[in-house]
Structure 1
Amino acid sequence: MDFDLTEEQRLLKASLERLIGDRYAFEQRKNYARSPEGWSRELWAQFAELGLLGLPFEERGGSAEQCAALIPKIADGSLTFAFAHTERQSRYDLNDIETRAVRDGTGWLIDGEKGVVLHGDTADKLIVTARVGGGRRDRDGIAAFIVDGKAAGVSRRGYPTQDGLRAAEITLANVMVGPEGVLGEPGAALPLVERVVDEAIAALCAEAVGAMAAMHELTVEYLKTRRQFGREIGSFQVLQHRAVDMLIALEQARSMAMFATMMAADENALERRNAVAAAKVQIGRSGKFIGQQAIQLHGGIGMTMEYKVGHYFKRVTMIDTMFGDADHHLRQLARRGAAPAAA
Structure 2
Amino acid sequence: MDFDLTHEQRLLADSVNRFVSDRYGDFEKRKAYRSGQKGYADANWSAMSEMGLLGLPLPEEQGGFGGGPVETLLVMEAFGRGLVVEPYFATVVLGLGLLRRTSGQGELLAQVVAGETTLAFAHQERQARHDLHDIAATARRAGDGWVLDGAKGVVLHGDAADRILVSARIAGARRDRAGIGLFLLDPAAAGVTRRGYATQDGLRAAEIVLEGAPATLLAEDALPLIELVADEAIAALCAEAVGAMETLRDLTVDYLKTRQQFGRPIGEFQALQHRAADMLVATEQARSMAMYAAMMVQQTDAAARSTALSAAKALVSRLADTLGKDAVQLHGGIAMTEEYKAGHYFKRLAMIGALFGDVDHHLRRVVAAGGLPE
TM-score (norm 1): 0.94
Asked if 2 retains the 8 angstrom alpha-carbon contact of 1:61 and 1:183, the reply is no
Asked if 1 retains the 8 angstrom alpha-carbon contact of 2:308 and 2:372, the reply is no
Written as runs of structure 1 = structure 2, the 5 A alignment for 1:1-343 is 1-25=1-25, 26-57=27-58, 60-63=100-103, 65-66=104-105, 68-177=106-215, 181-184=216-219, 186=220, 188-338=221-371
Matches of 1:127 and 1:251, distance apart in 2: 35
Matches of 2:45 and 2:230, distance apart in 1: 22
Larger RCO, structure (CA 8 Å, separation 6 or more): 2
| Cα shift at 1:213 | 0.6
Matches of 2:37 and 2:288, distance apart in 1: 37
- Structure 1 residue runs of 4 or more that deviate by more than 3 Å after TM superposition: 58-61
Q: Classify the secondary structure of the residue corresponding to 1:31.
A: helix
300-309 or 24-33, which moves further after superposition? 24-33
Matches of 2:150 and 2:55, distance apart in 1: 31
Q: Classify the secondary structure of the residue corresponding to 1:36.
A: coil
| Cα shift at 1:7 | 2.4
| Cα shift at 1:271 | 1.4
Deviations 1:14-72 (A, max 9, x none): 22222222223311111222222111122111100000010122675311x22x22211
Q: Classify the secondary structure of the residue corresponding to 2:224.
A: helix
Question: Number of residue pairs matched?
Answer: 333
Identify unmatched segments of 5+ residues in structure 1: none
TM-score (norm 2): 0.86
Asked if 2 retains the 8 angstrom alpha-carbon contact of 1:88 and 1:114, the reply is yes
Identify unmatched segments of 5+ residues in structure 2: 60-98
| Cα shift at 1:295 | 0.8
Matches of 2:372 and 2:255, distance apart in 1: 37
Q: Classify the secondary structure of the residue corresponding to 1:16.
A: helix
Deviations 1:98-135 (A, max 9, x none): 11001122211111111010110100000011000000
Asked if 1 retains the 8 angstrom alpha-carbon contact of 2:167 and 2:180, the reply is yes
Asked if 1 retains the 8 angstrom alpha-carbon contact of 2:167 and 2:182, the reply is yes
Matches of 1:284 and 1:71, distance apart in 2: 32
Asked if 1 retains the 8 angstrom alpha-carbon contact of 2:119 and 2:165, the reply is yes
The amino acid of 2:177's aligned partner reads: R
Matches of 1:94 and 1:6, distance apart in 2: 35
Deviations 1:230-263 (A, max 9, x none): 2111111111111111111111111111100111
Asked if 2 retains the 8 angstrom alpha-carbon contact of 1:330 and 1:339, the reply is no
Matches of 1:9 and 1:221, distance apart in 2: 30
